[in-house]
Structures are given as structure tokens and as C-alpha cells.
Structure 1
Amino acid sequence: MAGQSFPPAKKNYFWGRISRDDSELELKRGGFTEGKFLLRESISTPGNYVISIVHNNKVHHYSIERQPDGKVMIADGKRFSGPVELLEHHRKTLDGFLTKPTVECRRPTGQSPIYYREVTTLMLDKELFAAAQRKGLTGAKLADALGPQRALFIKEVSRNLHTKMSWFHGQIDRDEAGRRINMSGHKDGKFLVRQRDDPSSFALTISHQMGSKHYRVDKDMRAHTFCIEAGPKFDNLMLLIDHYYNRTDGLLCKLTEACKAPGFEQVEQVYAGLDDNAFYSSIGDMNLNSTLTNGVSPTRPLQPIGNNPWESGARARPPRPTEPPKIDMRNLIDLDEPETEAPPIPFPRSNNNFKDNLQDIYDTVPRDEDTFNLRREQISLSDTLGSGNFGAVMKGNYKRPDGGIIPVAVKTLKQGPESAVQSSEILKEAKVMAGLKHRHIVRMIGVCKGSDMMLVLELAPLGPLNRYLKDHPSMPVQSILEIMYQVAKGMEYLESVNFIHRDLAARNVLLMDEKFAKISDFGMSKALGMDNEYYKAEAAGKWPLKWYAPECIYYFKFDSKSDVWSYGVTLWEALSYGAKPYKGKKGAEILRMIEDGDRMDKPQQCAPGVYNIMQKCWIYQKEERPTFKEIVTLMYKYRQ
């Protein structure tokens, strides 16, 4: 047909409707190559496209806009029948581009392009075909609906597609929506959509800071658009949800995870019920124009599991880079131990009731503004427990307003030209810890702002796990496994509140007694969920590389799955009785070892099943690593 454009989905460099950040991440896999490119559909304006291309080790994005006559063009460029034709033109001539698109960034085998957060192009094709059958379309009308008129038909079908999404809970009231969010576990950005009594409106319920916030979603019955209060308007709820995954736009936080509706597993079978090869074969037998399925290859679909298939384990996982990005190791300080330790303090061995008694004491400390800001006369110092980046860590006592004395650990700030910056950092750590409430996370008592800045914490009498194990090589393996089960529980809590530690290691696991541990040192921690789906550091620093996952080292990106990698190293340390990981190896050697698929050997006293957990934590592709919730389940059977 004259003027007919080539379907983008026939090209394996077309990724569908993915975000700018995701496109940059894919282009970085395997290292930047001049002219490496991919094509994606605009998230904000369906029908428009974007070419993302590498030039001089940076990713540049060219917007391709749909014109009134159906053709497409970049700003001040020539018009073409479609984005593929435009790309082919720029392969031969720059014509406004900084570099020619010469190296295709291809989707992994079996991965269909993504259209909506829970819908691949392949899934959408099935929905369109089923809708056409329900309307009784045959012959030329069917060919038009699934071919030249495809964009209009998608718009029509998508108006009710939300009813098949994991996040749509039907007609429930406000209280029930809050209860379902609470039952599934609060996490900033977890959400659901419900039908209100008024058929012209819906409601979006979001988890934020352990509570539920409700937003009214109005539907313009005449224009068939949806919006939240005075926010932007969308043709369907699918687009609205996609938008708020990428922008807050007035919400308390971005959407991060769907709260799945009860019985959603049955809905999944709607998509899984028809064999894909049979599906495309049946269409092919109709001798329709080849564009009616937008050229999607007959590959295995991504099954919806209630999350974005782009970010969840549902997507076809890309292979790890065969040629990792080039990094300058001079910019990464390879630290065996980020903190230097003072000579061991002979902590008294605790009796069986010590931990419980101490917990009772700390439970009586009120949490308010007065107790957060402590006075210097309330703090007395004694032994030095260690020293680190900020200064010394001292043993001491805190005198409460009622006269009671509580044993504490005090992190003091070194005096010097950088004290002001360090004071700011230590205050950040204090505020972070003040919001964390879990029995396996060190509690913060408060901050003392005097001539010396002090961070006052609960005292863990037996000190760091790695040091204790070196001094007590006869500690039973079962006790170590119980400790590491508790660490997994603490990290599960951090994961549930969308918080990353970034420095999980045996040195930062403190012992209350031989059977009770707490996670400490949140100086490098970051809270997620307000603006980002992961934390990205601006540059490398004094980082403990031996505990870091590949994506942290290569891309400076951190999330709960990178903490999972660190947990695997910490578990290895614990069962090696405080031995240093990768002993004798430096940063470049460790990276080469990881890239080659080699991992640290099983510790001598480690059960095969526990070593298998370590290996799961060290899977190169982070999407395939277990969550901390799964690790807790795996570790449970090995605890004492």
C-alpha cells in the first residue's frame, strides 16, 4: 500500500513505551558504543516516538512527533511515513543528528515491546483481536481495525482495559481500599484503583509513610478523559497510571508497585489461555494485511504478574553484559574496611536476660523533639569502641530527664575544616534512623549539638559481628544462622519502607548478645519512593567494593536488590567467622571474577542449602535475585 509505514514492532530495536531512564540503562549495558540506539514510543503522547542514541559517551534523545497528515518528523526535519523510515534515512545521513544510528540496541529474545505498565504489545494484540471478534468485524473491516485504524481501535479498547489490571479492585469503599493496602504491606507508592459509587469517577489509593492517601479520579463522560483533580487529562486509566509512575505531579509520591486485587491470578489466565504461535497463525490464515498485528513476532509473551513487566521478574531478563562498561578504577577507592577499628574492648559476656532487660530500657525512651535534641550534660563518655569516617565511637551513658541512666554508644564528630559538612551528614543519619522502628535495627536516642557533634545510639554490648566472631571461633553455627535470619528480617523491614542501606556488612551488624543482632551505621543510606525508583550516586566515593553489586560499581545505582548482594557477602563473612571476603584480591580482580561468573567458595562450616542462598544473592542480573522477604523464608528453616 502506497505511503504505508513499516510497523516499528517488527524491529527488535523498538522497545515500546519505556521511560527515558530505562532507555539509558539499556544503552549502557555492555558499555557505550558510538551510534548505539533504540527506538521507543513516547510515554506522554502515544503515537509519538523517541530515538535514544549514544554520542561521546552520553545518551541523546530525539523526539519524533506525529503530524496532522499522519506522517512523523523530528524538529525542523523532513517528514516520513513512520519512525522506521525516519531512522533508515538517518542511518545514511546525519541531517540534524549528532551521530548516525549504526548499532542496534536489541530487545532480548522473546521479549515483546511494552505498551502499558502491565501490557506488552503482544497482550494488546490479543485484546484487539478479541474485541474485533466481539464486534463481529470480518474481512476488510477487521483488516482496517487491526491495521490502518489500529491507533483509533487501541484508544477504544483501552478505555476498559483497566478492568483486567492487577491494580483495579472494582467497586469497593474507601475503608476497604485502605484495609487492602494495609494487609498487603505498606510501601511508599504502592497503590490500587477502585470504582466509586458515582460511575463517572474512580479513586486512587496510595500508601505513603505507613498510611493511605485517597485521590479522586474524575472521568469526563463526553470527552472520555480521566484526570486527578486539576491534573493532566488522559484517554484512559492505563495512561494515567503510567504517568504517575514517572511523575508525582501533585501526588505525595510516585507510584511504585500495584496492590494486587484478590483473585487476580484468575485474570492472568485470560492472557495465558491462547497459545501465541496459534494466535498469530490463526490471524495469518485470514490473509489480512501484515500490519494488523503491528508486526509483532510470534514469541513467548510476558505474562502479567501485577507489576510493571519492564521492572519486574515478569519481563524477559536481558543477558548480563558480555563486555562490561569501562570504568576507571582510580575513581573507585577499594576499601576492605570503610572504618578502622580501635583495639577490641573486652565487652562483658551477657547473661540470658541482658538483651531483654536492655530492650525494656530503650523502650521507655520517649520519641519527641525534646529527647531528640540532647544536652551535653546528659551524656558521659568512657571507653572508645572504634573510629571511622566521622570520628570516634565511644561507650557512654545517657541521663534521662527523670534521672534514669541508660547505657549508649556515642558517635562523635572529628573537629577540622570539614566539620560543617560532616555535621550536616551526621544529622542526616540521625534523622534517617529516627524514622526506623524495628527490633533488629539499632535505635537512635538523639543528637547532641555542642562544641562536638554527637549521635547517641543504643548500645550493643558485644560489638560488631565480624570482630566478635574472630574472637569467638567456637560460636555455634546455628547461633550464627539465627543472627543472619534476624539481619534478613531487619532488611525485609527496610525493603518494605523502600529504604536502602548501601553499607550492609558484618562490621555493621551489632550483637546485643550471642543470639540477638541489630543492623547499624546508616551513614550511606538513602530513602526511595519520593522521586526515584532507585538511588543513583553522582560519582564513586570511598565505597566498600567487595560488598557491592555490579550495577552499583558500573552505574552507581542502588536499590534493595543491591542490598541483597551485600547480604550474600555478609552471610559469607558470618559463616567464615569474620574472614575478609575476596582475601588478597583488589577491585579490578574482583570485577573480573564476577564478570567471569566466579563467586567466593563455600565456607567450610556452611551447609549447601545456605551456600545456595548466597549464590542466589550474587546473581548478576538483579531482577533474578530474591527479595529480602524471600530470603527470610529461605533462612527460616536454618535458624535455631
Structure 2
Amino acid sequence: MNQSQGDEICWYHPNITREEGEKLLWEDPRKINGLFIVRDSVSSPSDYVLSVLFESQVNNYQIRRHQEDAFFSLNESVKFHGLENLIEYYKENPLSDDGLVLTEYIEGSLPPHETRRSGSTNLLHRATDVGNFTVVTALLQSGYPGYDAKNQDGKTAAHLAAINGENDILRELIHHQVNVNLRDATGVTPLHYACKYNKPDTVRLLITLGKANIQARNTDNNEVPLHVAASEGHLDVVKELLSLSAPLYPRTKKGLVPAQIARIKGHTECAEFLESYEVPTPKVTRNEFYHGTLDRQEAEEKIKQYNPISGVFLVRYSDRNGLDILTLYHEKIWRFLIKQQGDFLVIDDGPLLNSLEHLVEYYSTICDGLPTVLTFPIPPPPKPDAPPISTLKKQKTVKPKLRVPMPTETFRNDAPSSNISQNIAFKVDLNLVGLYDNNLESKEDNLIEPDRLKMGTLIGEGEFASVFEGALVDRNGEEVKVAIKTLRNEQLESSRENFRKEAKVMINLNHHCIVKLLGICIGPPLQMIQELVPLGSILQYIDMHPNEINPNFEFQIWAAQIACGMHYLEENRFVHRDLAARNILLSTKYQAKISDFGLSRALSTDKEYYSSLRGGRWPLKWYAPESCKVGHFDHKSDVWSFGITIWEMYSFGASPYGDMKGGEAIALIDKGERLSQPEACPDHIYKKMLQCWTLDSSERPTFKELAEFFKSDPEYINVKELIPEVNLG
């Protein structure tokens, strides 16, 4: 069957059952592997099914729809804008092991216009674009098909009306129930365009009458309408959005909030308005939903008592995570960590919110990543236990002052995603600069009295400190095993600065893949008290247990966890500068933790890198060329070190570059040579190492990409089923 260019996406067969689709494929005379159709999903009305003939069997793949627009994925994997783009991708990238090989299709019809990224210009588009209200009205009243059809740029009539500020036409479109939340080929909605072209009346019309998503994200950069208005300096639109309850601190992929974008673009009046804007007091109160300390099972039991109804929720404190958790029911029970960033609270990539009350009120009006809005709070018992002190502290509402990076040669547009600490000056929990001046009044929570420590055996030696196993006596008189890092007396003056810097980095880090600093004891001697990681470094473990390690299991678990921890550091704008296998510790066989932050540095608010010209005893064999030569350190130089670290693992503890000195290794790299592939290392892992070692740092993968790569590796994708306690991030 010849398939012309005009019919290249006519593979859609509406209103047929699974049995009818399979019969259609079986009876086709071509009988070729990869023959396919796309049909409607019977079990999920908004989804589709890809049916493929392979080895005389028909395999069915669920195509899941995401958001309110044409975003689709197979098995919750990569999302594609447009059903046609998903099919084209899998035609070019077959998954032969799964029988997903797409070759030819049985001719049907074009997929629905609302499932496609783009289409063609129709009469409704033309009439709307020239503002011909009479023609638009006549078309709509005549039942003209395809109100939501997209033109060649992916724009609907609603997009065109919003761009031109044609409010009468837009009102008529909304009256005929067009979808004002569809995205064009660039990934933006009509509301984005109304903000871009300074149409405050159109903005209000879209939100109040059209129910436009005020937090719709640009699919390329995560900009929401408030970002767009701030970027253009349209103060009236900014005020309109805020009056309609737009959150003040949404974040782009680079972690920027609208006020910062306005500053960068030179819109001073707009920036000052956003910086001084007072977030309204929430109408909800904590005693409606907050249960204090509650374990997972107890929370789920409370949810189940409510039938359960979609939208039923509560917020609890988890001793295990040290965080508040939103527990929500919608078809199943969902759990969302409520993380703290500075003085703000945040769920995933949602906006930064001032308090738990603000967070609950926000998600009561918009899903924004949740499966449904919060509708029915489960109240705590009449006399709930007081929540932990740490929780009470972090809920206070503090209006931060913004410090915005101005455009300079060092402000890079390709900056990695980061949280708001990139640009907002938050209160530091422990001002270690004054630590040695006995200025202790504001540091009580982080200081540990010497008489609460019991020193044990020596378990490690560093450049300027010794590490002992010991015990910390808690407030209840119980002993907790800890590691005590002690600055040696002979190193007191020369190394105190390095010790101080390491403590300053670690004190605010809280992640399951990073060794936790519990506190400081100013002694004498000066000591850092850290969680005890009992199995030592992965180098030690490999050396002691070489026959108990499966490279396709343990090494990939560790690699995923290291990448996950480094992604956390990247989000919090820290470069490690000493990532190596010797500094990766194991708390269990299946939990790796990053340690030794003696060389780590926090990036300043206006730079994406740290520059050091002082040199010193640097681990050159682990360093990227730009670090060795010009002292340039950023997240991508840490990625180079990550590649060396996993090479050490797959080499079962071999020293990189053998007996070469650091300078000799650098010369080797300059010639284009790289470490050879370890015998135990699979080809696809070594390929990823080589990507980490590209000279152009912009071509190296991000830690987020590395974490996803190792977590989704088919060699151990079912690790959670085999070892339930494994936490890959």
C-alpha cells in the first residue's frame, strides 16, 4: 500500500475495540513485523493504544496523555508534544526487545486535531487573525468543526485572539467551549501570549471566564505567565495576575522567579513592585489538616476512613525523612515530600510558598503536578501532639529580600536548573565565620557540648583531620553512634579554615545520598559530628568484598545514588571539587553517600562557576582540564570527576592513570586520550563515561541526566522489587 506524504499520519482508527484492532492487524495481507495502528483506549478515555504486529502476535502499548494538552508517553517514559511526534520517534528508535518495531501502518484517518502538535490554517484561524467577529460568530453558530484545531504553528483560534487582544472573539470562542489551555508548537498557551503582548483585559478574560491555567509552564523553560509579564516589564499584567492569585515565586528551569527576571531585563519598576509585594494571608489554618508526627501507615489508615473520596488529604511530619509529607487520595494514595528551600516550602518543581497554610491553599485551587486539587482536609485529633521543633521553625512566614544577578559576562544562559537559593539571600543556619569568636547565641541548635560525646576507635585519617567512631548522648540520655571528625592539634592553625569551610557547606545539606552533619563541637578540640557510615568507602568495600559485587547491580545502584546526590548539590549551588571513590561511603551495601566537602564551595549569586588561582594539593587526576589549567570549577567539572569515580568502581578500585603524576595525566588528556574501558564495564556505561570526559563542558551530561540514566538502566530497573530498601533518589 503506497502511503503518500499527505497521508503520512493516517494511522488512527477511532472507535474500535482491542479485539477489532488485533483482527485488523492479523488479517492484513502484508503480515510484516512492525505493522501498526493507533486506536482509542477503552480503559482510559483520554488515552490511546499503539497496537503492533510482531512475530505473529499483537502487542498493545498504552499511550498516556499528560496535562490538558497534546503530551503523550509510552509507559510513563519520555513525553512527546504531539501524538505524531511520539509515533515518528519510535519508528526511528525501535525497542526491538519489547517487540516495538514500527514499519508500516494500516491506513485509517488523521488523529484528532487536539492530539497533534500542529495542523493547517483553516477559515476560523483566518477570520480570527484579521479580527472579523461577524465571520467567526457565523462559523461557530453553524457548528463549524475543529474549534481547537491548530494551524501550521500549532496555534488555535484562541492563541490568535489572545495575541491580538480580540476579546469579543475570545469571549465567543470560550462560550463555545474552546480549550484555552492548549499549547502551540513552541509550548505556550494563549495566556502566555496575552501577557507577552500586554493585554491585561485579555488576561482576566482568559482566567475568569476561560478557566486558563495561571501556572501553565512553557515546555522549554518552565516559564509561567507571570514570568512572561515580568520579562516584558508589563506592570499592569503583573498586577492583574497577582490579583487573580498567581503565586509570587514560580521558578523557571534555571530557578529564577519573576522579580529576578524583571531585574535582569532592566524593568526596575516591575522588579521593585514584585520584590515589595505582600503575599496575602491564607484563609486556611493548620489545625484543619496538620497531624504532626505520624507514620505512613497511620496516615493511610486515616485516609481510608473517608471511603476514600478523591481529594481527601492530610499533612504529617515524617521522622524518617525529617520533612512534612502531603498524603493525598485520588484513585490511589499519593505521597509528596514538602521540601524546605531557605524560608520557603516547595513540592517538586512547583512555586516556592511561604508556609504550609499557603501551600495547602495554593494546591486547593490548582493541581500543578498533583493528581487532583486538595478538597477535603482530614483534621487532626482534638488535642494533637505538638509537631517537632524543626517543623515549627520552618513554618514561620518570612518575607525574603531578593538579590538578583545582573547581566554580566559571567551570567550564563545555559545555567543548570537550581533552586531559589541561587538568587535569594536566605538566613544561614550557622554562621561559622564567628564560630571561633564564641559568638554562640544564634547557634545553639548546631552546637554540641563536649560532655555529650564519647570518643571511640580511629576509623580514618584525612589531610588535616582524623575520624573516630564514637557516640553522641541525645537529650534523653540515649547514645547514638556517630563519626567524629577532629582537627588535629598540629594542624589547628594551618587547617582551621578548611575545616570551617567544610562544616559551613555540610551544615545545610540534607539528602539521603550525602553524609549528614549533625553538629559542631568547638571543644577543644574542634570537631564535626557526622552520621556514622559503617561500611567505609566503596574502595574499602570493593577491596574487602570483591566476590560479593555484581557490577551490573551494585555499581549501577551506587552510580545512580552518587548522581542523585550530586544533582541535589547542583540544585543548591555547591560544587564538590573532590568527587572520587575514596569519598563515597556506604551505610549499607545498597546505600552510597557522598562525603568529604573540604574542597567544596558554594557558588555566588551571579556566577555559575567557582574560580581558584591558589592551587594547592589538588587531586588532578580527578579534575577536568579547565579546573587543572585555569582553576575553573562548576557542576560540569564535577561531572568529569563523576566519570573518573565510576571508572574507579568498574575497575574494582584501580588508580586512574596508574602511576602517572597529575601533570602527565593532563598531558595525556590534551592528546585526546582517555582512560580505557574496564573489563567489567558494559559498553553503554563506558560511553557515558566518555561523555563525562568531553573537553567542551557544555557537551557533558548534567547530574540530573546521569541520575535518570542509571536509574532507568534495564540491567537493574527492577531493583526495587528485588531489594525494597534501595533508595535511588
Instruction: Point out which structure has higher relative CO (alpha carbons under 8 A, 6+ apart).
Output: 1
TM-score by length of 2: 0.43
TM-score by length of 1: 0.48
